[in-house]
Amino acid sequence: MLANFTGNYLFIALGALGFTVGTIETYKTFFFPSKPRGKFAGKEIRYPEMLKKRQHFVPVFAGIWIIVITMIVVAFTRPHNGLL
């Protein structure tokens, strides 16, 4: 997406990396909240009360994603120059 707006390969790579990490972590955290992953797979959940406390941050994450998607739509509806 960033290739439409900049010719700087560093900005494109960093933006792609950040977007990838953001989508993966959001998916893992909110679609499988009670399943330990990675090095924690197969281990007991030590602080189950944090699963409930984490739900308070769902509106924040949803708001961030709404802003990100809105900015993407706004950026693509305006004239742009870049690699693509």
Q: Convert the pLDDT of each residue in 18-61 to its tens digit.
A: 999 989 988 887 788 778 878 888 888 888 888 888 888 889 98
Residue burial 35-65, b: 16+ Cβ < 10 Å; e: rest = eeeeeeeeeeeeeeeeeeeeeeeeeeeeeee
Q: Is pLDDT at 17 greater than 90 in this prediction?
A: yes
Residue carrying the six token digits 């990396």: 17
Task: Give domain status of residue 10, yes or no.
Answer: yes
Task: Give domain status of residue 60, yes or no.
Answer: yes
Token pair for 23: 């989508």
Model-level pTM?
0.67
Listed in sequence order, the residues at least 6 apart from 84 whose beta carbon sits closer than 8 Å to its beta carbon are 3, 4
* Residues spanned by the domain of 8: 2-77
Cα–Cα distance, 27 to 35 (Å, whole number): 12
Please count the structural domains in the chain: 1
Task: Give domain status of residue 83, yes or no.
Answer: no
Task: Give domain status of residue 33, yes or no.
Answer: yes
Type of residue numbered 62? A
Task: Give domain status of residue 84, yes or no.
Answer: no
Task: Give domain status of residue 82, yes or no.
Answer: no
Task: Give domain status of residue 56, yes or no.
Answer: yes
| Reduced DSSP (H G I as helix, E B as strand, rest coil) percent helix, strand, coil of the chain, to 5 | 70, 0, 30
The reported pLDDT for the residue numbered 81 is 78
